[in-house]
Structure formats: structure tokens, C-alpha cells
Amino acid sequence: MSWTTSASRIAEAGKEDAACTHPNIEEIPGRWTPSGSLEEEAGAIVLERGRLRVRSGGLAARIPWWVSARALLGTAEFVVYLCRSMFLKITGPQRVEGEVVISGAKNAASKMMIASLLTSEEVVLHNFPRIDEIDIVRELVERVGAKVSTREGALVLRTPSIATEEVVGLSRANRISVLALPALLHRKGRAVLPIVGGDRIGPRPVNYHLDALQAMGAEIEESGKAFVARAPLGLHGTHVRLPYPSVGATENILLAAVLARGRTVIENAALEPEILDLVMMLQSMGAIIELGTGRVIAVDGVPHLRGCTHTVLPDRMEAASYACMALATGGRIFCRHARQADMITFLNTVRRIGADYEVLADGIVFFVPPGSRLKGIDLECDTHPGFMTDWQQPFTLLLTQCEGTSVVHETVYEDRFGYTRELNKLGASITVFDKCLGELPCRFRGRRHPHSAIVQGCTPLKAVAEPIDIFDIRAGITLVIAALAAEGTTSLTGLEHLDRGYENLLGKLQGLGIRAVREE
């Protein structure tokens, strides 16, 4: 178990105090001040966006935090468990060459674990990734009654009954917990879930989920920091047209529709490979799901679902990450298990910059042809089958090593260029704009979100003395690639984000001959 999982369990739900003996966790007593900061001898520590930031003293500048029960119960005095920062140190430049085995898709496996709650029978998932995201979802499904184990390398889940319909208190599972609504409503008629990411009901993406479930007969209201949902008459089929082809909303409606009375039609549905893999799993469980033309999915509800055995598709994001790693460093890599069908747009873009690939029976080889010089392009992100938004960050780094100027237009998320500040510290030349620098229809047009970037190519990268903080999964792998391309030793912190999304990253890097170490 990783230290992040251990530490989160310490403060889970705030029901009781616990001691932590992990060598990287330090226990510090403190007291809230009127300004909301924590006072202790080493320096002032203030809460900022779910983390503790140390104003002074000998601890790391930014640290994951957990509080003991006394803080969660509202008293003034409490204990904070501070994790001493771990660093991933990479000395570059290093050419990435060799073979890497691509793991199961994070964005599919986690949703399939939630889907297992729809049946009382056993669900077996092969090729699941060993990452912290799976630990997070495991906490959630075990909380509501699932028995989870491994058998011959497969993840085995069985939920004979729902032990509780309340999943509040699992702060790390906030974002995915909304997907548990359908299973809890079908099997218990009630669900209590945390408000996702602190959002209130209003003009937020979570509205797509809630509006659809309400149209299917759910009654949902806010109570403090939680959503309370009821379905006294059960869920029924309906016709939903999503304002945007949201992946999460499409998944939630699918999970609700498979056991709802009657037919549910989803227009403008997301059709990512991970969703189609979820559809195939649900079909194996007994669901009736049709894929129509023009982003339409139709579901005929069935009385019950059975267990199944399913193999999770390979992670196309991981495959693209290692491809960018090799191309940005002038190397060659075989991504075993990568599938051409899931990466068509990415593969086209690889050739557009002057690189190439070869599809083999069990994977894809990425390389820069001899004598070829990579060139900049105009790139626009879109929902599938467009260029995946999770491919954008590592590919933007790759564009810094291409000749000429590139333009990147992000149409899926409104603020996904924060990582460029860190790349610019390493020598990149990336300017972010709040205008649409592209031709695709964009819901951010005129809203002044920083969602476009101009990248000046062929900029040499160089390590800096201070550690660079990772703040999300995809930004993290982008900074790893930058460190491999940069001259000197780069130290990265915030490794819990990489642990959440990439299986055995350090081991895979070292398997490619990369000189990288993880240390305190």
C-alpha cells in the first residue's frame, strides 16, 4: 500500500484518531488561528486548495495533508500529518529506446469497478492497472459493501448486498463517487454522495449527471456538503440529449439505464473507446445496449444483471505518453498491446509532424525516420474521435522539439495549460491565450478562458535548480518527458499524481535504460 493510501485512511470520515508510523509522515500538533492558518514551531502553514503550503520552516513548500479526527470534528486543537516530499530525479538528455508493456486503461477499469455494484454476482477484471486510482475506487466500492480481492492476476469484485448507501468521507473518491449513484439507487433506493469537487448544483458539468438521473425518476437535493438522492419508485427510461458529449455523464446514464424500466436514448453521447469497453462489459452482464449513428446510444432496461469476466482494454493515454517520450528524445519505442483502432487520430498527428509508426501484431512502434526533421503543426483537441485532450500535454512538449511554430487549441477543458509555466522554466517558449486559435467549434469562445497556446519550436531545455511541482496526472508525465529531453538533473515533486495514473512508472523507465531515481 502506498503512503498516500495509508495517510488517507488515517483521517477517513474523522471517526477516530489513528497513529501513522510511515517514515515519510510527520505528526505536528497545531491550532487554528483566526486567519485559518496553522501555527507550529517550524513556521506558518496555511490551507490552500486542499493542500498545506508552508510559509517558512524546513518542510517542503507544498505537501499533501490529512487531519486527525479532532480537526474533522470541529475542535480548535488538532494534529496534522505532513508527508515529507518524495522526488523523482532524472538526468538528461536521455534517448528513450526499447519496449514497454502498456497497462490496462485507468479510465475504463475504474468505471468497471463501479459497474460491478450493479450485480450481486462475481465480476472478474483482467488487465487492470496497479495504480492508486484503483486503490481509491476500491475504497469506495468496499465502503458500500463490495468484497474485493485478486485471483491469478485478476481483480475480483462481488457485492452480495449494499452495506450502506452513504459514501461521504472518502475525499479522494469525490469525483468518481457520482458514478455510484445508479447502483445505489437501483439496489437501495437511496444514495448520499459528496458534492463533487466542492461544486454546488448550478452551471457545472455534474449537472449533466444529475439532470439525466432526475429525468429518470430520481429525486436529488443538497444537504450540507452532500447530495441526497432517492428513487422511491425506481428509475425509468427517458430521452436525454446531452449539451456536450461528456464522458462521465454518458457513463452515468448507461449505468442507470441498464436496470431502468423501459428504454433510454442518449443523444450526443460520448463514444470514447473506454465507454465502448464499458458497454461490452455491461453486455456481458446481460444488458441490452445499441449504438446508433450520430452519437446515439439506446438502452433497453433489464430486470437484473449477472456477473461476468472482462479484459480491460489497453491504456491509449499511456501508449501516447511513451510515444511522445521516445519522439521528443529522438528514440524508438515499441508499445506492446497499444491498439491502432484506439489511436487513429494520434497516429495521424505523429505522421503530420514528420515522425512515423509501424503497427505490429501486438503493438505499435514509434520512431523518427533517419534524416527526418520534426516540424510544428496546428493541433486542436476534441472529443473522440478527435485528438484526445489527455494527449495534449505530452504532445505540446513534443512540439517544443519540432522546428517552427505550432498552435494548440484546447476545446475540451477550459484551463489545461497551467503546466506550460513549468515547461517555460525549463527553457520552452509557450504563450497561452484566452482566444480560440483554431477552427473547431469551441464552447469557450468569448469566455476568456486560457485554452489556446502558441509553441515556438526547437527550444533547448535545461534543468533548473529548484524542484518542479506536479499538479495533475498528465502534466506530471509531460514534465517527466521534459526532464528526459533537458540538459541536467530535474527534480519532480507531487509524485502521487503519477502514482494515480501510471503503473510502475519508475520501473518501466528503468526498464528502458533510463537513469531515474525516486528519493526523499
pLDDT at 206: 83
From 17, 199, 378, 415, the catalytic residue? 199
Closest CA to 395 of 348, 465, 447: 348
- d(CA 194, CA 511) in angstroms, rounded, equals 40
**Is the separation of the CB atoms in 258 and 252 below 8 Å?**
no
Model confidence over 396-417: pLDDT tens digits?
999 999 999 999 999 998 889 9
- d(CA 62, CA 466) in angstroms, rounded, equals 13
- d(CA 517, CA 40) in angstroms, rounded, equals 32
Q: Which amino acid, 179?
A: L
Model confidence over 32-59: pLDDT tens digits?
333 333 333 333 333 333 333 333 333 3
Model confidence over 207-233: pLDDT tens digits?
899 999 999 999 999 888 788 999 999
Cα–Cα distances (Å) from 153 to 93, 124, 206, 314, 498, in that order, read 36, 10, 34, 16, 22
| pTM of the predicted protein model | 0.84
Say how many C-beta atoms besides its own lie within 10 A of residue 290's C-beta: 12
The DSSP H or E segment spanning 364 is: strand 363-367
Please confirm, yes or no, whether 199 is among the known catalytic residues: yes
- Average pLDDT in the 239-261 region? 96
pLDDT at 172: 59
Per DSSP bridges, beta strands 43-48 and 37-40 are antiparallel
- Is the confidence at residue 84, as pLDDT, over 80? no
Least confident of 81-95, 138-152, 338-352, 382-396: 81-95
- d(CA 197, CA 226) in angstroms, rounded, equals 11
